[in-house]
Amino acid sequence: MSSPAFRSAADIRHAVATGATSATAILEETLARVDRLEPKLAAFLSLDRAAARRQAHAVDARVAAGDRSGALLGVPVALKDNLCLTGQPVTCGSKILEGYVAPYDAHVVERLAQAGAVFVGKTNLDEFAMGSSCENSAYQKTRNPWNLDCVPGGSSGGSAAVVAAGIVPLSLGSDTGGSIRQPAALCGVVGFKPTYGRVSRYGLVAFASSLDQIGPFSACVDDAAAAFAAMAGHDPRDSTTVDAPVPAAEDCRRSDLSGIRVGVHREYVDEIPDAQVRALVQRGLDWMKDAGATLVRIDDIDLLGRYALPTYYLVATSEASSNLARFDGMRYGKRAAAEGLAEAYSKTRGDRFGAEVSRRILLGTFALSSGYYDAYYMKALQVRRLYRQAFAKAFERCDVIAGGTSPIPAFPIGQKAADPLTMYACDVLTIPASLAGLPTISLPCGFTESRLPVGFQILGPPLEDARVLGVAHVFETKSGARGQLAPLAEVSA
């Protein structure tokens, strides 16, 4: 059932374009919700009300001058705090970047600004996007809007929480191994990871460059499609972007699933350890069948197996070790007081990186070190290629693959913080698609007995983002979850 507090990005855009309201009025309503709910959620790391008001005034002036173009005209958007926004802090949830101010806009910020978006603030995340619970932030622990004692997921926990709480209709996150989809599942919202290379990473502080991809959170698939259409496209500043036509938002819809073959794999459904999650995911498959889809078993193809997690954590930590070398207090980062150069490096990185970031740098440095590079990092890249081949084989027999997003619902804050391996396992269903660079979406598919959301994941072949969004649109209609916000949102109505 949709909350009365829900107003989609499309609704806002229409109201602003037709003069029914103004971007300034929409922003003031948003800031009022921030004031009411932020003390409960701890989702924002920074807010610049003056800058946001200037953007809203500029949108209103644009409309007054007769320019009503822009798919996100007047829509409030929150940004994960690893994306650059000129003149705003970008901390990546780390003490090492405390006080750093972005000197330029990320590509996605430029694109959304052109579409008329108004940027409200920067959201909390696990430090340098490394985590699955938003507990690794150096600044605060964001809470899940459905249960304030639980985590929102990670690493983009703040971005998921502000949408689930009805503060903004749209936010951006980054997904390396599941950092959009997993918090979307735990917070009961839509989270879309485009095909790797569809959206430029220019202005995204890198974690693992061959895996990172930027994508939207929203309370409905249509808004995610609109954000994707606005952001995607070739960018010469990011050599990994794909020079391919970007589907229009209206091309990301379907009326039913007739002719769609849905791949079903035991590890994405039958072997989910939580019985309630498993049952809800199975119900989601039934909805797809009712909508006209044909379910195809693909159990004979090794899509997860025992190698996905170690492969990912070798690739990701190796690339993190390289990318984070620049944060040394000399090139980037707040420098610690020290007697000499070696001590400055040691104290800066030792004192200002958190435990999880330090752990991953050490793991990656070891995997890249002389004598181990071929045995670990190169071997992981070879296994990664096998995953890509396995998915390619699967997509010869089906059009999309569907199953669970997270093997468990949101868990209490602090429950898994002391056990890194248990925390890593939270991403076991999202990591394979990241290794293969696939477009993937998570949607709400119901609630546990404790009223915690459960996510349903749809994966497609590379560059078939419109197909994934179209199938998701039908699934959302069947589930009745469009605009489903946490009860906390009603407080802000």
Which residues are catalytic, by number? 80, 155, 179
CA distance 213 to 226: 17
* Residues 181 and 431 sit within 8 Å (Cβ to Cβ): no
How many CA atoms within 13 Å lie on the side-chain side of 120? 32
The single-letter DSSP state of residue 336 is P
Sign (positive/negative) of CA torsion 15, 17, 19, 21?
Answer: positive
224 touches 216 (CB < 8 A): yes
Rounded distance between C-alpha atoms, residue 260 and residue 191, angstroms: 22
User: Cα angle at 312 between 311 and 318, to 5 degrees?
Assistant: 95
DSSP assignment of 395-435 equals: TTT-SEEEEES-SS---BTTSSTT-HHHHHGGGTTTHHHHH
Q: How far apart are CA 194 and CA 377, in angstroms?
A: 25
Residue 73 corresponds to which tokens in the numbers above?
A: 């005209």
Which two tokens mark 142?
Answer: 């964001």
| CA separation, residue 350 to residues 99, 313, 329, 363, 468 (Å) | 18, 22, 11, 15, 43
Structure tokens at 395: 């997509």
Report how far residue 344's alpha carbon sits from residue 175's, in angstroms, rounded to the nearest whole number: 32
What is the distance between the alpha carbons of residues 331 and 481, in angstroms, rounded to a whole number?
47
What the block records as the tokens of 330 is 């000399």
Alpha helices of 237-340 — where are they, by DSSP H?
A: 275-290, 308-323
Residue 56: count other Cβ atoms within 10 Å of its Cβ: 23
Q: Which residues pair with 119 in a beta bridge?
A: 77
Relative orientation angle of helices 221-231 and 465-479, to the nearest 10 degrees: 160
d(CA 320, CA 82): 14
CB 304 within 8 A of CB 428: yes
Cα 64 from Cα 67, distance rounded (Å): 7
* Strands across the sheet containing 440-447: 44-47, 118-123, 76-80, 170-175, 213-218, 190-193, 440-447, 453-459, 400-404, 261-264, 294-297
Contact 183, 156 (CB under 8 A): yes
DSSP-derived secondary structure letter, 249: G
Phi, psi of 225 (to 5 degrees): -65, -40
Tokens matching residue 208: 């693992």
- Which spans in 325-378 are helix H? 341-352, 355-368
